[in-house]
Structure 1
Amino acid sequence: MTDIECNGARPHLLLLNWRDTSHPEGGGSERYLERMAEGLASRGYRVTMHCAAHDQAPADEWRRGVRIRRRGNRLTVYLRGLQAVLRTRPDVIVDVQNGIPFFSRLVARCPVHVLVHHVHREQWQPVLGERLGRIGWWIESRLAPRIYRGCRYLTVSLSTRDELVRLGVAPERITVIEPGVDPAPATHAEPDEDPVLAVVGRLVPHKRVEHAIDVLARLAEQWPKLRLEVVGQGWWAENLRRHAQLRGVEDRVTLHGWVEEQDKHEILARSALHLCPSVKEGWGISIMEAAGHGVPSIAYRAAGGVTDSIVHDETGLLAEDFEDLVECVATLLRDGELRATMGAAGRARARKLGWERGIAAFERAISRGYLVP
């Protein structure tokens, strides 16, 4: 099979993902998938998203033309996903591999596309410990590529594509579809006279928000009024509060938790810099959201997809290590003209990255079936 075949009916697309954006731990990767889903629904596809259940949303919901079915917990969602494949018999499946895929290829009778935001090599052991971490990495790096051999892969950055190639996925089976970014909404905020560092993301260990707190502590003497504002929620929040206390900067760190979308943009608009100290990112949608407000971002070069979302020395900076991260922040805080130039370049780039371009590319990609039988 090389194309979606649906006997004249609207093609049915089944998306298998462990979370959706309403989930307390939902983030940029979930937003990416949902924007693609909504775009395809508007183009005539019947779109069903299967994801884990949680207490902040109903089991069944329709959202912008997409049917969302929430079943199972963080573990059983995978079994329930296989049941959804068998029950609904879709025309095409997008199996989202957040470290662990749904193994839908084992039961599917239609084309399966694997969506990988980033490879989790560096995250397994810090999250699960050495033994379970090795098992997780073996599944991701050895077992999954074997099971999905012949399937097409979708990813969000050239960096992740290169990592997948190193895992044995043939380059011709991989399609890169970068995320879009919504136009930055109008805000009331202006850049604060006292410099603000912003971090936007889930509060989990691999996001390494501690590094942003450490940067603040290191620069506190040079910039006595420097502050850090963190937008996002997650189970690691209390650890971050304790870390700020240990570093003696708890009065300069604001953990906002979850905020409304407009409030997030107000915080970004008043910030001098956006930091993304994560271990690994597939792309970094928050980087482009900050760019939309003319706010440069700084991230670690080794973090993968940030090397695609940040144009080094043009829209932001890529640091080699923590000491370099501190120096990058200090450089841009000292040089307001350079910061403004990078901000203007980032804003211009963000304006070019609309979602429609990505949705069209996503549709073209999923309309093709297996590369080999």
Structure 2
Amino acid sequence: MFRTRPRLVVDVQNGLPFASSLVTRRPVVVLVHHVHREQWPIVFGRIGGAIGWWIESVVAPRLYRRSRYVTVSTATAEELVGLGIDADRLSVVGNGVEQPPPVGSARSVDPHLVVLGRLVPHKRVEHAIEVVARLRDRWPGLRLSVVGEGWWDAELRARAADLGVSDSVDFTGHVDEQTKHEELARAWVHLCPSIKEGWGLVVTEAGSHRVPTVGYRSAGGLRESVLDGRTGVLVDDLDEMVAAVDGLLADENRRLAMGEAAARHAAAFSWPASIEGFARVLASAVREDGPAGPGSAPGAVVEDVDRLVGGLDAVVRVERRLDAGNGGDADHGTSAEGDEHGDQGLHAGTRFRGGRRRGVTLEGNLVIHNTDPVTIAAQQA
């Protein structure tokens, strides 16, 4: 930073702040996908979790008290306001979703569930396995595909064995992007039992294959990525999740109607629109900051930011081609969701492979970007 003298800094706060505001006088835009209140004790235990939450909830808001924030859902925005972030410094720019590639797989003949993401405790894949255990007698051909990898893999396999459903649960591990979409195309219902999601990009990915989602209302961002009763079902506990899945498996017409609605909802989100919305937030931060020193007049910086709309769109297209050539990653295939696809949803420095692992009302106005009429209607539904 000292060598490059950036005109503007985007600080991605995945739990722990980078504290960039202490080392630059230039505008800082803080990107937060979701607040980690629930994850801290799960990953670091009671004491470590308390320290982490104190840093995120007390220290970080003070470090960035003059910075503009951008997040991916109003649910996260409300939580940030609860931490003392002024609503007029908050912007919401929704995640986009790429068009799914052509697939050769047809919908499974037998009931098929899928859960997609990293295998870590706070994704609570155990709940999906429990759903299979409770419904297998009613649906003898029921299967679950667990798509992804992570350090909680062994515990999940052990849980499936304990429940006697190992033969009904397929752990695919790391798969490429095409295989991920093939798995989604085969599924009847997508499960998202995560304890917290900033948005839930896997929901829109599943939706693009006409697959409805059952997830937890308390997860935050799922209240926006899942239109309850229209593109999927939001529930409050495991018992309700089992009942919701059972109901969708039994009612084909309802399930198919939700799948069609999920596809329409997913189509309302695109990366070019998200890029444009994010670029406007950066431009706004520069305008609010005023002159930033020699060679950094606001007009010049805003012009640079405006060029991001086309430039970053080109980057997205190039990365898509590279993914197609090199093979994607189901564990990172939805990496646009940022911290939700890091190793622990925190900084890379917090990753570990061994050792012990443990198991508001929004006031003010938010600037909502990436809102075409379809998206606005969906959010108001």
Residue aligning to 1:130: 46
Say yes or no: does 1:303 pair with 2:219: yes
Say yes or no: does 1:198 pair with 2:81: no
1: distance between equivalents of 2:147 and 2:176? 10
Offset, 1:368: 2.5
Offset, 1:87: 2.8
1: distance between equivalents of 2:27 and 2:135? 53
Residue aligning to 2:32: 116
2: distance between equivalents of 1:93 and 1:215? 44
Say yes or no: does 1:179 pair with 2:98: no
- Which of 160, 170, 178 aligns to 1:244? It is 160
Figure out how many residues of one structure are paired with residues of the other and give that number. 289
- Which of 250, 253, 261 aligns to 1:337? It is 253
Is the CA contact 2:77–2:92 (under 8 Å) kept in the aligned structure 1? Answer: yes
Is the CA contact 2:9–2:29 (under 8 Å) kept in the aligned structure 1? Answer: yes
- Which of 344, 347, 357 aligns to 2:273? It is 357
1: distance between equivalents of 2:151 and 2:4? 34
2: distance between equivalents of 1:241 and 1:106? 45
Bigger mean CA deviation after superposition, 272-281 or 250-259: 250-259
Offset, 1:350: 1.3
Residue aligning to 2:134: 218
* Structure 1 SS opposite 2:284: coil
* Structure 1 SS opposite 2:10: strand
Residue identity matched to 1:206:
H
* Structure 1 SS opposite 2:2: helix
- Which of 287, 312, 334 aligns to 2:228? It is 312
1: distance between equivalents of 2:4 and 2:131? 50
Structure 1 segments unaligned to the other structure (5+ residues): 1-84
Say yes or no: does 1:276 pair with 2:192: yes
2: distance between equivalents of 1:276 and 1:325? 10
Alignment map for 1:1-373 (pairs within 5 Å): 85-369=1-285
Is the CA contact 1:196–1:226 (under 8 Å) kept in the aligned structure 2? Answer: yes
Offset, 1:189: 0.9
Residue identity matched to 2:21:
R
Is the CA contact 1:151–1:372 (under 8 Å) kept in the aligned structure 2? Answer: no
Is the CA contact 1:273–1:295 (under 8 Å) kept in the aligned structure 2? Answer: yes
Offset, 1:86: 2.2
1: distance between equivalents of 2:280 and 2:57? 27
Residue identity matched to 1:197:
L
Residue identity matched to 1:200:
L
**Structure with greater proportional helix content:** 2
Is the CA contact 1:89–1:109 (under 8 Å) kept in the aligned structure 2? Answer: no
Is the CA contact 2:27–2:289 (under 8 Å) kept in the aligned structure 1? Answer: no
Q: Indicate how the Cα distance of structure 1 residues 372 and 141 shifts in structure 2: closer, same or farther if over 3 A, else same.
A: farther
2: distance between equivalents of 1:89 and 1:198? 46
2: distance between equivalents of 1:258 and 1:328? 28
Offset, 1:372: 7.3
Map Cα deviations across residues 9-58 of structure 1 (whole Å, 9 max, x no partner): xxxxxxxxxxxxxxxxxxxxxxxxxxxxxxxxxxxxxxxxxxxxxxxxxx
1: distance between equivalents of 2:253 and 2:247? 11
2: distance between equivalents of 1:298 and 1:224? 20
1: distance between equivalents of 2:141 and 2:66? 56
Map Cα deviations across residues 44-89 of structure 1 (whole Å, 9 max, x no partner): xxxxxxxxxxxxxxxxxxxxxxxxxxxxxxxxxxxxxxxxx22322
Map Cα deviations across residues 264-315 of structure 1 (whole Å, 9 max, x no partner): 0000001000000000000011100100010000110000001110000000
1: distance between equivalents of 2:268 and 2:79? 26
1: distance between equivalents of 2:49 and 2:109? 45
Structure 2 segments unaligned to the other structure (5+ residues): 291-381
TM-score (norm 2): 0.74
* Superposed CA RMSD: 1.2
Residue identity matched to 2:183:
I
Offset, 1:348: 1.1
Percent pairwise identity: 51
Map Cα deviations across residues 155-205 of structure 1 (whole Å, 9 max, x no partner): 000100000000000111011000001112211111101111101101111
Q: Which runs of 4+ in 1 moved over 4 A?
A: 370-373
Residue identity matched to 1:183:
Q
Offset, 1:92: 1.1
Residue identity matched to 1:318:
L
Is the CA contact 2:120–2:151 (under 8 Å) kept in the aligned structure 1? Answer: yes
Offset, 1:150: 1.2
1: distance between equivalents of 2:285 and 2:205? 34
Residue identity matched to 2:277:
A
Residue identity matched to 2:168:
R
2: distance between equivalents of 1:109 and 1:87? 14
2: distance between equivalents of 1:349 and 1:120? 27
1: distance between equivalents of 2:240 and 2:289? 46
